[in-house]
Amino acid sequence: MIISITDDFNLYKIANCGQCFRGVEIKDGVYRFITKENVIYLKEAENNPKTSHTTKLDISATKSEWEKIWMPYFDMERSYKDVRALIKDDSYLENAANLGQGIRILRQDAFEMLITFIISQRKSIPAIRTSVERISKLHGKKLKTDYETIYAFPTAEKLANAKDLESCGLGYRLPYILEASKDVKSGLLDLDKLYSYDDEELFNALKEVKGVGDKVSNCICLFAFNRTARAPVDVWIKRVIDDQYNGINPFPKYGENAGIMQQYMFYAAKNQ
């Protein structure tokens, strides 16, 4: 199915801005994204005019799947053009947003993000991807598509009882992952309930999980719960704050869009 998008949308940047570790280019401009047991393949249509403000995509989903699953996943109700227009009197962020134009904040599965960002600590993006794929292959449901056979991210029930995760490169994070999985399985950590929390309540509730500090909690808030007011600060963003803003955090003035601005800065810091 061919769809037209008139807002910012760039498959490469969405997949490579540090928020998603299973969104990848599998061949010749075809990108694959997975959420729970749902898989989509997207590619820019060949007749996509580079001078147009419209992006045409050839997608593997039906119309109803796109509207029900993937439009929320890609945050299609938000105008990222309008978000970029909010940037004033900040040349560094303006340049970062121009470089990162096309990024969108994905609404990913909460359990997957909890485990993924526990894994992410002190790991490179390629290493995170490798660990996540190994875990999925060991304990996730097999999914056969026209392109490949892949595996969904495991459920909490599967991971809570896993005895073979040592081969996944998890190191000191392994006990945290097992405990978090057991907490979700038992209901001690009710991820569905967390959607009703305000941002600060959500942030603090996630920090009660062993292995979840400020940065990881903010990442889960932003990339699973779509709390775009949360702006995670890692070593890259800390460097930007120190070098470009004299150590003064620039995100609070952007309110509900702070997390989007953070992604522009992160992408720029990694790619300039």
Catalytic-role residue among 207, 215, 253, 270: 215
SS3 185: helix
**What CA dihedral angle connects 200, 205, 208 and 213, to 10 degrees?**
-40
Q: Note every long-range contact of 239-243, with CB atoms under 8 Å and residues 24 or more positions apart, other chains counting.
A: 239/269, 240/92, 240/265, 240/269
Sequence-ordered list of residues with C-beta below 8 angstroms from that of 220, at least 6 positions apart, any chain: 110, 113, 114, 117, 206, 212
Q: Is 270 a known active-site residue?
A: no
**What CA dihedral angle connects 220, 225, 227 and 228, to 10 degrees?**
80
For residue 25 the two structure tokens come to 């280019």
For residue 249 the two structure tokens come to 């955090």
Structural contact between residues 225 and 194, judged by C-beta atoms closer than 8 angstroms = yes
What is the distance between the alpha carbons of residues 71 and 32, in angstroms, rounded to a whole number?
A: 15
CA 127-130-135 angle, to 5 degrees, is 130
Structural contact between residues 6 and 76, judged by C-beta atoms closer than 8 angstroms = no
- Kindly list the catalytic residues: 215
